[in-house]
Structure 1
Amino acid sequence: MIHIVFNEVEVELMQQVQALDESLAGRIIQIKDDYAVGPVANIYETEGYQARKEWWEKLLEGSPYKDQADNVDDKLAVHHLIKALEEDETETVWIWMGQNQHDVCGYYWLMPQLREFQGRVMVLYLNNLPFINEKGQIFYPSWLSEIRPSEFLKAKKLARPITLSEFEVDPDEWAKLAQEDAMVRVLEGGKKIVSRGNDFYDAEILKHVTADWQKVSRVLQNTLHRMKIKTGDVFIMWRIKKLIEKEALIAEGDIHKDWKSFDIKLNSSEKRSVASAEKEAEPS
């Protein structure tokens, strides 16, 4: 049994689950890239893969993760996965995903590469399913990491083989997204992913910027904490810098050095437009 997860925290989580249930013992593989953002055109070809790699390298400049770009090699991870399936015909794969665009886009990216192993690939999509939290309350998680390890013992019963129909339809869905090649992809329910523009998160960022100077790291954390449709800090920081380039925000300090080297505030004209938008939204 090989388990596929899409977030680093879930590797340790699955290890805890395996400690509670030996029947789930097996190798854990993390698909590390975030396929919900960035270019995905021709992603299975060298040209498309390289274009995406260069895009991430540009975004990672000045970030706390600038030295980690080479640690993400999902192509190699899938190569080893396929090799394991070819060498052992009894081996199975369990794909675990929560109801969020990060996991679902990772699933869509993975699917076409496992088509020949139909019948040996299981999926556990924990969408719209109730779980019990530490306070004994029912809740509906969006991410696997929100679920207690003990709750996974019930969740495993939901594992089912990915059907032949899904192996035919889902790769077409991913091909459509790759052809659109938008910078943002969001989940609209079920497994429906829709493409959105580069500026999809800009309004969310602007909510947390004021007319007074703030550390950009504070704006970043407030945005990440409060936003409903989640994305990563690297992407949000990229959009903050784009808003500075567009003069919607004003920066003080070196925006190219690191994430602690500059402060930001609203441009006065942006402040007026935000105030005007809020006034128009007020009931008459």
Structure 2
Amino acid sequence: MENNKRGFTLIELIVVVIIIAILVAIATPVFLNQRIAAWKASVQSDVSTARVSTEQATTGNQGSLDGLSFSGGADGTALVISVSGNGSDNVSSPVSSGNTVTEKLGKSDSGDACYIITGTNKNLGDWSYSKASEPSCGDAGDDDPADADGVKASCTVHGDFTVHGDDTIPYCAITGTLTVTTGSLTAPNLIKVGSVDLTGGFDEDTSIGTTEFPKLVSISGQYLSYGSTVNAPKLVSIGGQVTDYGTLNAPKLKGV
């Protein structure tokens, strides 16, 4: 019998190679993206677990962050949250292989203690994922000692402070009463103040203009305003009596 078998032609082989190359070109990015997504999800999971572990350690520390310290967490090694003076309350938070989770204590805009947890993966270069206990949580800073309220001592006025005429003050905390007798005031860094007294509005010659508190979070004492317009977009609380015959723009104010 005559043998009619024959091999593939060169053109047919080239077509098959091209088809395979196209399929590989399509599949490779999908595979790589899935790996990247998996690495990121792993980091996010480790950070979330560390957050739960920190809250657990805080509970064992009478609800306080004071005295907590952090060790480990490098490339698959568990992050240990230690409670000062009570090793039995230490909490170990697992970290996946290839991931590193670090944690540090900081201060919020209101001066309260908070924490920031950051996770990375060795395959993702500079990418990182962070979670903070407070939106405004930042580095507490080691180069400037803080006062009892948690605000840096170098920009705290201990006692009362009075402003006469248009002025801009640099302070981040005033422990006493801030009094404005006339003009407009801008306090770009003020976070907390004891009391606010804006009394110039009753006298036409000593009227008070607009007062700007872009970072003010809390007033621990009374708030007194006669005719002044006050912009405090981050103000959350006023601890004392409120007497306001002006305009207080404080959309986040929760209660007085």
TM-score by length of 2: 0.26
TM-score by length of 1: 0.24
- Of structures 1 and 2, the one scoring higher in RCO (CA 8 A, sep 6+) is 1
- Structure with the higher strand share, 1 or 2: 2
The structure number with the bigger radius of gyration is: 2
